[in-house]
Amino acid sequence: MKQIALYGKGGIGKSTTSANLSAALSFAGHDILQIGCDPKRDSTRMLMHGKLIPTVMDLVRERGAAAVTPADVVYTGFNGIRCVEAGGPEPGVGCAGRGIIATFQMLEKFGTLSGDVIVYDVLGDVVCGGFAMPMREGYAQEVYLVTSGELMSLYAANNICKAIERLSARPKSRCRLAGVICNAKNLPKEEELVAEFAHRVNSHLIQYIPRDRVVQLAEINRKTVIEYDPSSNQAQKYRDLAARIMENTSFTVPTPLGIDDLEALAIEFM
């Protein structure tokens, strides 16, 4: 079983990328489980044709943890992909990080964490220990960073490198940086910039995904690009990403950059 996690700045396209990646992997014949690990709970929406599924935390809040069963938390979406949303507290109260930890413990207990590939779609920044849960021992060993060529996006990706570096230093930890996905804003020299960033943090650019209107069209139609327009160039990019991830063997301990180095890098490619 392969377990991968996608991390990146909020709004950078992690959920779109995750859903299309899951769809492409599923078409390649793999049994896929996608887990949204963000209280915003919209990771699996395109796979569920626009439906916001009840989250694990919603069910715990409404019924109490003891009354929640495995069948309540897993929803089958496009092409048999199993979808789970962790959810979390209302914005501004409680502890969302603890919610992620509690969700993982429940999924573990239920035996839900199975299949050929598990895709964890995690919120923008590793703000506390709870959001590092998918990187911990027993879960995702391969972390993919999703970023554009914008400085703030690279900055967030660099921060996640710090978390991976820290966690990978623990005894028995097998969490590694597996690659950088450039979800482009179509900026000049963007692919080169992200490739160079990936290189400097001791990793590699695994896929360049251009900005394409078909993504918005698919979203309006509540579908992944893979489902909405399988013959499009964009769908091919997601299939390429899926194939490369399955073949990838380059898992590294990242070397995060200082803020000055990061800025200098961005200026270099202006």
Partner 1 sequence: MTLRPLPSNSCRSAGCTLTGALSVTTHVRDAITVVHGPQGCTHHNFSLLHATNLDNDRIVIPPLVSTGLSETDVIFGGEGALDRTLDSVIARNPSAVFVLSTCITDTIGDDVAMVCGIHNEVPVIVVPTAGFLGGPFQTGVNNALVALAGMAMPVKGNGRVNIIGEKNLEYEVEENFEEVSRLLDLLGLEVNVRFVHDLTVSQIATLGAARLNILRDPTLIPVGEYLRDRFGTPFIPAYPTGISGTVAFLETVGKICGIDYRNAVEDERAFRQETLDDFADIAGAGISFSLRSPDPEGTKVARDIAQALRLDISSTGCPVPVPVTAPVGISGVRRLLHRWRRSIHA
Q: Which residues bind partner 1 (CB under 8 A)?
A: 57, 60-61, 64-65, 88-90, 93-96, 98-99, 102
Rounded to a whole number of angstroms, the minimum distance from the CB of residue 55 to partner 1 is 12
Q: Is 9 a catalytic residue?
A: yes
Rounded to a whole number of angstroms, the minimum distance from the CB of residue 40 to partner 1 is 16
Q: Is 116 a catalytic residue?
A: no
Q: Which is nearer to partner 1, 128 or 214 (CB)?
A: 128
Query: Taking a C-beta distance cutoff of 8 angstroms, is the pair 103, 56 a contact?
Result: yes
Annotated catalytic residue within 2, 40, 162, 185: 40
Q: Is 223 a catalytic residue?
A: no
Query: Taking a C-beta distance cutoff of 8 angstroms, is the pair 93, 64 a contact?
Result: no
Rounded to a whole number of angstroms, the minimum distance from the CB of residue 93 to partner 1 is 3
Rounded to a whole number of angstroms, the minimum distance from the CB of residue 119 to partner 1 is 23
Q: Which is nearer to partner 1, 98 or 222 (CB)?
A: 98
Q: Which is nearer to partner 1, 2 or 98 (CB)?
A: 98
Annotated catalytic residue within 42, 72, 116, 125: 125
Q: Which is nearer to partner 1, 48 or 123 (CB)?
A: 123
Known catalytic residues are 9, 14, 40, 125
